[in-house]
Amino acid sequence: MPADETAAGLPMGSQPATPPPAAPEPAPVKYERLLLRHRDIPDLHRLEVYRQHGGYQAFKQVVTTLTPKQVIDEVRASGLRGRGGAGFPTGVKWSFLTKDSYPRYLVANSDESEPGTFKDREILERNPHQFLEGVMIAAYAAEAHLAYNYMRGEFWDIALRLDAVLDELRQAGLLGQNLFGTSYSLDIHNHLGAGAYICGEESALLESLEGKLGQPRLKPPFPADKGLYQKPTVVNNTETLTNVPMIMARGAAWYKTIGTEKSPGPKIFCLSGHVKRPGNYELPLGTTFRHLIYDLGGGVPSGKPVKAILTAGASSTVLASSDELLDTPMDYESVAARGGALGSASIIVLDESVDLAWLTLKTSRFFKHESCGKCTPCREGTYWMLNILERVNKGNADKADVDLLQTVALQIQGKCLCPLGEFSVTPVLSGLQKFRADFDGHTRDGKGAPAKPSAARPAGTAARPAARKAEPTPAGD
């Protein structure tokens, strides 16, 4: 469960062992939560409470007074960008729908499977109506009469509750035929995936939703042209859609006052790793890492300095920590300027005890496990990288194997069918680039590398049975 953070942003409880941050502390900003409103409004997940707080007014207003195009224009004007990771402007995405092609579908991507990402879960559990209202408004804008909420299979308990919520909405006349006396009709269905990371990729999600094996499709055509059942489809992240009712209720101009010019609006940052108070923190885009990690997250429990930060879960570039990084605003452009990507804003904090060879073993194991197998470089390359990293971590490798790891990662890069394979190499390549010594320190011929055992290493990992001696390549192979 996410920890509560204080609005004042000051850490409470145990005394941080770190010296105060070097940069001057910005004045804490009193910030109105828009996406995690349930933290301020008890029982917001109940329909009557949500309606008491203006719920579904925006949807009614949209359906009864606006054209779909007006909705798209408003969302476009708000500058809302996709919160799933890519940060593509939402209103622009909606405007790409192929003209005069019907039926159309709206699909909410609640697959949330990036390691370290747990924002959509909280929305679905605690603030489901705001999300569903977003789905409804987006469906109206897309001229879709059917919307699907695709959730990862592990969300089965949430799906059960959301099924009841949808029934309630149907009974309340908020879903169904001829809504508010207009000609517009809409229904929403929940759909559970079967436990595959790749189904968070929109085209694999659509395949899965169609009942097929979850493998990504070729692009183009994009979903806006040929999506679900080859019909124009909008696929939006859950958090993105949760922004929409607020935009429609209060207007694009108001929305743009939050965040930065190019990255407007609020964002939920999923803070985890070596911080005292991990959890979801809703903040305006452009908040600094330092504010999140130290002021809100309470800093590093061990008091050690931060070694690196991952901003997008396992898909992240490893960002080596520095004062400049800590003072970087967390928005799409500023993080990109640092060589990373904000992605889904899963901020994983790594203190100095973390061994990057161990970390990339974890991420590689994840990607090897989650590779769909459709394209060669990802299927074979993730398997190969994992094999090398296992040998490195077991002390069963030479520096030449670390070189090979880099070669294999470069061999995957730029050749994959979808982003999964490309993501699999980002932590490896950036880890090697910035913390090569962590890898070399495990090797038989590595010298002077700080191969300290990681505090975060789960018990047992180091004590795996003695690994087989790496053989020189057999001549016949």
Partner 1 sequence: MADNVTLTIDGARVTVPKGTLIVDAAKRLGNDIPVFCYHPKLQPVGMCRMCLVEVGRVQRDRASGQVIVDENGQPRVVMAPKLETACTTPVEEGMVVIGASGRVKEARDDILEFLLTSHPLDCPVCDKGGECPLQNLTIAHGPGQSRFIFEEKFRLAKQLPLGELIYLDRERCIQCARCIRFQNDIVDDRVLSFYERGRHLEIITCSEPGFDSKFSGNTTDICPVGALTTTDFRFEARPWEMNMAASICPHCPVGCNLTLNTRREARSGGQMVIKRVMPRQNEQVNEIWVCDKGRFGHHYASSSDRLTRPLVRRDGKLLEAAWEEALELAAGQLKAAGAGLAGLAGGRLSNEDLYNFRQVVTGLGGSAALNTRMGGAEQTQQVGVGLGTNFAEMGPGTAILVVASDLEEEAPIWWLRVKQAAERGATLIVANGRPTKTDRAARYVIRYAYGQEVATVLGMLVTGSSEAAEALARAENSVILFGREGLDFAGSTALAQACANLLIATNHYGRPNNGLVGVWPDANTQGAWDMGLPARGQAVLPVGATASWIVAADPVGDGEISAEALRAAGFVVVQELFLTPTAQAADVVLPAASWVEREGTFTNGERRVQRFYPAITMKGRPDFQIAAEIGARAGLSVSSHAAQIMLAIAENVPAYAGLTYQKLTEVVKQWPEVGGRDLYYGGASYTNRQGLGVQVPSAAERGADITAGKLAAPPPPARNGLTLVPVTVLYDRSTTFVRSQVMHPYVPRPYVELNTADAARLDIQDGDTVTVEAAGVRVTLTARVDGRAPEGVALMPADLGPAVPAVAGPATIQKG
196 touching partner 1, by CB under 8 A: yes
- Specify the residue, 208 or 321, whose C-beta has the smaller distance to partner 1: 208
Q: Which stretch binds partner 1 (CB under 8 A): 93-101, 181-189, 435-443, 465-473?
A: 465-473
Q: How distant, in Å, are the alpha carbons of 109, 206, 215 from that of 203?
A: 11, 5, 8
Q: Which stretch binds partner 1 (CB under 8 A): 68-76, 321-329, 363-371, 440-448?
A: 363-371
Q: How far is the CB of 324 from partner 1 (least distance, A)?
A: 28
Judged by CB under 8 A, the residue of 335, 404, 428, 429 near partner 1 is: 404
Judged by CB under 8 A, the residue of 225, 380, 451, 461 near partner 1 is: 380
- Specify the residue, 241 or 397, whose C-beta has the smaller distance to partner 1: 397
24 touching partner 1, by CB under 8 A: no
The type of residue at 123 is: I
- Specify the residue, 99 or 447, whose C-beta has the smaller distance to partner 1: 99
Q: How far is the CB of 428 from partner 1 (least distance, A)?
A: 16
Q: How far is the CB of 199 from partner 1 (least distance, A)?
A: 11
Judged by CB under 8 A, the residue of 411, 434, 456, 461 near partner 1 is: 411
Q: How far is the CB of 371 from partner 1 (least distance, A)?
A: 4
Q: Are 394 and 451 in contact (CB under 8 A)?
A: no
Q: How far is the CB of 418 from partner 1 (least distance, A)?
A: 10
Stretch 205-224: interaction string toward partner 1, x if CB under 8 A: --------xxx--x------
Stretch 312-351: interaction string toward partner 1, x if CB under 8 A: ----------------------------------------
Q: Which stretch binds partner 1 (CB under 8 A): 73-81, 318-326, 339-347, 377-385?
A: 377-385
Judged by CB under 8 A, the residue of 375, 392, 425, 449 near partner 1 is: 375
- Specify the residue, 154 or 187, whose C-beta has the smaller distance to partner 1: 154
Count of residues that interact with partner 1, criterion CB under 8 A: 37
Q: How far is the CB of 114 from partner 1 (least distance, A)?
A: 17
Residue 473: burial class (beta carbons within 10 Å; 0-12, 13-18, 19+): exposed
180 touching partner 1, by CB under 8 A: no
373 touching partner 1, by CB under 8 A: yes
- Specify the residue, 330 or 416, whose C-beta has the smaller distance to partner 1: 416
Rounded CA gap, 449 and 306, in Å?
19
Strands 279-284, 266-273: pairing is antiparallel
Strands 306-310, 318-320: pairing is antiparallel
- Specify the residue, 42 or 476, whose C-beta has the smaller distance to partner 1: 476
**Interface residues for partner 1 in 246-275 (CB under 8 A)?**
none
Rounded CA gap, 323 and 264, in Å?
25
- Specify the residue, 168 or 380, whose C-beta has the smaller distance to partner 1: 380
387 touching partner 1, by CB under 8 A: yes
Q: Which stretch binds partner 1 (CB under 8 A): 40-48, 142-150, 179-187, 373-381?
A: 373-381
Residue 114: burial class (beta carbons within 10 Å; 0-12, 13-18, 19+): buried
Rounded CA gap, 254 and 248, in Å?
10
Q: Which stretch binds partner 1 (CB under 8 A): 113-121, 159-167, 309-317, 406-414?
A: 406-414
Q: Are 391 and 398 in contact (CB under 8 A)?
A: no
- Specify the residue, 189 or 212, whose C-beta has the smaller distance to partner 1: 212
196: Cβ–Cβ under 8 A, 6 or more apart, which residues? Answer: 113, 204, 208, 214, 370, 372
- Specify the residue, 329 or 377, whose C-beta has the smaller distance to partner 1: 377
Candidates 62, 410, 418, 454; CA nearest to 207 is 418
Rounded CA gap, 189 and 105, in Å?
11
**Interface residues for partner 1 in 78-107 (CB under 8 A)?**
none
Rounded CA gap, 40 and 250, in Å?
19
**Interface residues for partner 1 in 412-451 (CB under 8 A)?**
414-417
Rounded CA gap, 134 and 154, in Å?
23
Q: How far is the CB of 200 from partner 1 (least distance, A)?
A: 14
Judged by CB under 8 A, the residue of 110, 360, 371, 426 near partner 1 is: 371
Q: How many CA atoms lie within 13 A of 5 on its CB side?
A: 32
Question: With the CA atoms of 384, 387, 388 and 392 taken in that order, what torsion angle do they form, in degrees rounded to the nearest 10?
Answer: 170
Rounded CA gap, 209 and 229, in Å?
9
Q: State the residues that interact with partner 1 by CB under 8 A.
A: 196, 198, 213-215, 218, 368-377, 379-384, 387, 404, 407, 411, 414-417, 468, 470-471, 473-474, 476-477
